[in-house]
Amino acid sequence: MTTRYHGSSVLRMTIGIVYSEDIKYYDFGLGHPFRGDRYANFMRLFQEKVKDFELTEPRYASDEELLLVHDKTYIDFVESASRDIWLPSYSYRFLSGDTPLQPGLGRAARLIAGASLTAGELVWEGRFTHAVGVGGGMHHARRSYGAGFCIYNDVGLCARNLIQKYNLERILILDTDAHAGDGTCEIFYEDPRVLFMDLHQDPHTLYPGTGFAHEIGADNGKGYTANVPMLTLCSRIYPKLIPSFSIFSWALSQKSSAF
């Protein structure tokens, strides 16, 4: 446990790690850059660098929870296709070529989603000041399409679950991955309850080619999406982003970054 001093008050920082060895089954196979051994490597690094944390088991995200951000036809496809060796011919409707489903992968995706759901709830309920859902940050998963190695958008699930379960009025999602979080952006593009701040590499030079500064949300959500392509806009936009943290008075914030 770490003690942080804030003004005249003392805040004890407690860290929770939500992890299961079964997350290793989120593995796209030999030759693919996204392998299941990355999670155990992360845990070893965390144990070496942080040491003082509490380990918590995640739950599997239910159908009801997945439906908070994903379409039922997409969920049904993932569950059906990940039970078979061969992908159906119509899989291109739901998955990009870089995200090939493997047997058991759908269940592992539910576990990663459940880890982020659990982490968010544990922080909001006061058990930890900080929590990490290992394997999370699947920000390329859209409502009905998996891409960029992402099947279920755990960040979006966590945010919407907290909004509905605890009647939160606003949440900040800060995405610091080099790739733009196109899936998370799509999910909350018209939602004024979520401020989605995405700092990423210039979309002209990196997948997925979205996340331009003019993409600021739509309808009631207009102004609640802030895409900041680095480095070209950094010096101009960064100073303008800082005041919005205090102006909006966020009830809870989430960091989105794939490990």
Please identify every residue annotated as catalytic: 140
For residue 231, cis peptide bond before it (omega within 30 degrees of 0): yes
Cβ(203)–Cβ(177) below 8 Å = no
Q: Which residues contact 105 (CB under 8 A, 6 or more apart)?
A: 25, 26, 27, 28, 82, 151
CA-CA-CA-CA dihedral for 3, 170, 256, 233, to nearest 10: -110
Tell me whether residue 10 is exposed, middle or buried, using C-beta atoms within 10 angstroms of its C-beta: 0 to 12, 13 to 18, 19 or more.
Answer: exposed
**Residue 114, Cα to own-chain centre: how many angstroms?**
11
**φ and ψ at residue 80, rounded to 5 degrees:** -70, -45
CA distances from 217 to 171, 193, 227 (A): 15, 12, 10
d(CA 189, CA 211): 12
247: helix, coil or strand?
helix
